Amino acid sequence: MVLNILVGLVLLVLIVLSSGVVVDILERYVFRLPIKKNKVTAILIGFSLALPELFVGIAAALDGKPQIALGTVVGANMANLSLVIGGLAVIAVAIPVVGEYLEKDLWVAILLALMPFLMLMDGTISKLEGGVLIALYFVYVFFLSNEKVTVKQSGKKFSGFENWGLPILLVLGLIIMAVSSWQLVQIVVAIAAVWGVSWFWMGLLLVAFGTTLPELLLLSFSGKKHKASLALPNLLGSVVMNSTVILGIVALITPIIIRESVQRGLSGMFLVFILGLFWLFTKSKHKLERWEGMVLVGVYLMFIGLQFILA
């Protein structure tokens, strides 16, 4: 058991590190493409932050255990909107709210974050519903791409090591993520069997916490660099990607069937509560203050405690 836990932690670290390498390489390519950027960077960051959840979700679906993917996505969204953003508010003292965040971005993220729970009212996300989730993301991207955002394009060209080294590192990073995610699913199943808990519970608490480490590290760095205003758009992009594309892909591979009604219901209620607090706090003074961040972190810890008690 101890060995399984240690191996699981190592696999999570490998997934996080390899996703960081892949994202860095993708960013280098994107900024050298002769295309209009608009909000490509926002989409890329949302995709990059959700990359660990994507690979874990695909691995779980291919192994016939989509409940792990569902738990990971729900848990990651809850952690992003409470633990991560709340922790950043504590570090940065306050997070300013800028742009069209309150008018549109937050409402879209809330609706898309709740969409999987609406589909799960019958306990299943079917392949058709998975296709709908992916389609919703493309609609989101379409409207996002119409907004004007200035992005500086790099005029540098690849040379030397970058010409042949970056593609190799990209492939290696993807392979490491794929293999590590597959092995992590096997470890999660083994631990769940010993502890007597569901696959959904394991994804919701343990796997989700590990996959949100990139968000926590990246946004903590942003806070120290006084770029906390970038945190909200980045996190919302990650939440939208998790709730639509990742669950959509998982459902297309194999329908998501969840029978743990108590855990599912509790997760849904806490997600609604967190989203409500998140909206209320950011709307009141157009910023998220330190004490409000502490409240969000406290709500997340309360949720974790209740899940352990119920398990």
Measured distance CA(37)–CA(31) in Å, rounded: 8
At 251-288, the pLDDT tens digits run: 999 999 987 776 778 888 898 899 889 888 877 777 78
**Percentage of residues of the chain with pLDDT beyond 70:** 77
Phi-psi sector, 135: left (phi>0), alpha (psi -120 to 50), beta: alpha
Query: 3-state DSSP helix/strand/coil percent for the chain, to nearest 5?
Result: 80, 5, 15
pLDDT at 249 over 80: yes
181-214 pLDDT, tens digit per residue, is 889 899 998 888 888 888 888 988 888 888 887 6
The H or E element spanning position 289 is strand 287-289
pLDDT of 39 higher than 90: no
Q: What residue ranges define each of the domains in the chain, with the CATH number in brackets? A: 37-149+195-310 (1.20.1420.30)
Average pLDDT of span 57-80: 92
| DSSP state for residue 88 in the 8-state scheme | H
Mean pLDDT of 59-81: 91
Amino acid identity, position 177: M
Residue 241 has pLDDT above 80, yes or no: yes
Tell me the mean pLDDT in the region 3-26: 83
What six digits make up the tokens of 300?
Answer: 């997340």
Average pLDDT, the chain: 80
Q: What is the largest CA-CA distance in the chain?
A: 57
Band (pLDDT 50/70/90 cuts) for residue 229 is low
Q: What is the structure's pLDDT at 22?
A: 81
pTM, two decimals, is: 0.85
pLDDT over threshold 50, residue 83: yes
Comparing 43 with 69, which gets the higher pLDDT?
Answer: 69
Over the stretch 114-153, which tens digit does the pLDDT of each residue have?
A: 999 899 888 899 999 999 999 999 888 877 655 544 444 5
* pLDDT over 60 at 225, yes or no: no
